[in-house]
């Protein structure tokens, strides 16, 4: 018994015929297009996917401030003045303090004249 013909809006397709898009060559081509698009997206977002380690300049005032504060907090931790959780909290606050003092931020908006 032969395979029944499929129907399309244009009419029936004979049982033995397949579309050019159903052939293995077309599927391999589509897969290659998919891989190339994925590669382009990975290249565009390479810094998001694989962030580089931040380099700290020796002249950076925020880094100097943070190093000083961090050393003070580590000393307090060694002396037993603060526990590890408090030391972690103090370090996060020290980072905010150094950013506010020497700031990488934009500062307040200008006053109207």
Give the pLDDT score at 46. Answer: 92
Q: What is the mean pLDDT of the chain?
A: 81
SS3 of residue 16 by DSSP:
coil
Q: Nearest CA to 74 among 94, 100, 59?
A: 94
- Please write the tens of the pLDDT for every residue from 2-26: 555 566 667 666 666 777 778 889 9
Assigned token pair, 111? 């006053």
- Position 42 pLDDT exceeds 70: yes
Q: What share of the chain has pLDDT > 70, as a percent?
A: 71
CB atoms within 10 A of CB 65: 17
- Report how many helices (DSSP H) and strands (DSSP E) the chain contains, helices first: 4, 2
- What is the Cα–Cα distance from 44 to 73, expressed in whole angstroms? 40
b/e sequence 6-30, b meaning 16+ C-beta within 10 Å: eeeeeeeeeeeeeeeeeeeeeeeee
* Average pLDDT of the segment spanning 52-66: 75
Instruction: Identify which of 38-42, 59-63, 85-89 has the greatest average pLDDT.
Output: 38-42
The pair of structure tokens assigned to 50 is 């694989």
What is the average per-residue pLDDT within 32-59?
Answer: 87
């Amino acid at each position: 018994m032969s395979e029944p013909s499929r129907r399309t809006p244009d009419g029936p397709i004979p049982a033995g015929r397949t579309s050019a898009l159903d052939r293995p060559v077309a599927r391999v081509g589509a897969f290659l297009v998919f891989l190339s698009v994925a590669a382009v997206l990975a290249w565009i977002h390479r810094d998001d996917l694989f962030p580089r380690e931040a380099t700290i300049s020796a002249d950076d005032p925020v880094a100097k401030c943070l190093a000083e504060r961090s050393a003070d907090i580590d000393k307090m931790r060694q002396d037993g003045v603060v526990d590890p959780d408090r030391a972690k909290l103090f370090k996060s606050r020290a980072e905010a303090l150094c950013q506010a003092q020497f700031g990488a931020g934009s500062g307040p908006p200008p006053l109207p004249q």
